[in-house]
Amino acid sequence: MLKVLLLNGNKIDNKGGMSFAQALQINTTLEHLDVGEADLRMESTVALATVLRNNTSIRVIDVSRPLLTTVQEEPVVHFANMLKNFTLTYLDLSCNRITRDGVKELAKVLKLNTALCILDLGFNRLEDDGAMHIAEALASLNTNLRCLSVVSNNIGSMGLCAIADAMKTNTTLTNVFIWGNKLEEPVCIAFDSLIKTGRLDLRNTDVKPYIVDGITYLCELSHGIRRNFYYGPTYGEDVPDWQVRGLNPRSVKLDDDMTSLFD
């Protein structure tokens, strides 16, 4: 019984994506589908999001870097509606040309406290407004999201500090990745405080504070929401602790409530 299907990097294109959308209308066993960097286009991306509204077996979906030509962010609206499916736990929307308007729709669904545990929004363009939409949802209304990646999203101090502030009241979010944004001094101080107080563990983020001439900076750590795109070891000494504890669905066993991912 096939439960995990990894096709990342294969050029299945629009026709292949549409075929998977059709299959998922009747498939009830597949739990993890990875079609990242598979040259999906608008039609197949929207079709997958639409079908997954009613598919209760899929728990992990990666649709990163489709080939989209629209500037209206139609796929984001469909994925926001898809999140109302309370079985999905891992969603990768990196490189989907999402802006502050698109993420506003995602934030509305996060406020409903869906089952989503891991959300990858890396390499979009959320900017400050988009990050603040996410922070607002996390501050008091969402208690299920455990890992958030907003790397390389042109976010400045307002947005990143809002996420840091949200973590003071949100006790569920444990893993945050922010490298590639505008890491100005207020951001550095905010994340330095989270790390010093123990609210954010260095194993669960991609930045580390350091001080030069009394000024706080952040350097990059090698941690990320996933270490290898096309292949990563799933057993043996080469698998780091942070990966075993749940930031790569290829490296862990999916269980009923996903709590084992973060133990």
State which of 18-22, 115-119, 133-137, 251-255 shows the largest mean pLDDT.
133-137
**33 found inside a domain:** no
CB 49 within 8 A of CB 26: no
Q: Is the pLDDT of residue 230 over 60?
A: no
**60 found inside a domain:** no
Q: Which helix (H) or strand (E) holds 163?
A: helix 157-169
pLDDT of residue 238: 57
The CATH number for 122's domain is 3.80.10.10
State which of 85-89, 113-117, 244-248 shows the largest mean pLDDT.
113-117
Better-scored residue on pLDDT, 201 or 263 = 201
Query: How far, in Å, CA of 171 to CA of 187, rounded?
Result: 20
**218 found inside a domain:** yes
pLDDT of residue 172: 95
Range of the domain at 206: 70-230+244-260
Among 185, 119, 130, smallest CA distance to 154 is for 130
**At 259, phi and psi to the nearest 5?**
-65, -30
* pTM greater than 0.95 (yes/no): no
Q: How does the average pLDDT of the chain come out, rounded? A: 84
**52 found inside a domain:** no
CA atoms within 13 A on the CB side of 37: 6
Q: Is the pLDDT of residue 185 over 70?
A: yes
Better-scored residue on pLDDT, 228 or 120 = 120
**11 found inside a domain:** no
Local confidence band at 70 (pLDDT 50, 70, 90 cut-offs):
low
Q: What is the mean pLDDT of residues 127-139?
A: 96
CB 89 within 8 A of CB 118: yes
pLDDT of residue 236: 60
**31 found inside a domain:** no
pLDDT tens across 186-195, in order? 999 999 999 9
Query: Of all residues in the chain, what percent carry a pLDDT higher than 90?
Result: 48
pLDDT of residue 239: 56
**6 found inside a domain:** no
Q: Is the pLDDT of residue 263 over 60?
A: no
Q: What is the mean pLDDT of residues 102-122?
A: 91
pLDDT of residue 237: 61
pLDDT tens across 31-69, in order? 998 988 888 888 888 888 888 888 889 898 898 888 776
pLDDT of residue 213: 96
Query: How far, in Å, CA of 69 to CA of 86, rounded?
Result: 30
Total number of domains constituting the chain: 1
Q: For residue 107, what are its two tokens?
A: 């934030």
pLDDT tens across 201-211, in order? 999 999 999 99
Local confidence band at 226 (pLDDT 50, 70, 90 cut-offs):
low
**28 found inside a domain:** no
Burial of 145 by CB count in 10 Å (0-12 exposed, 13-18 middle, 19+ buried)? buried
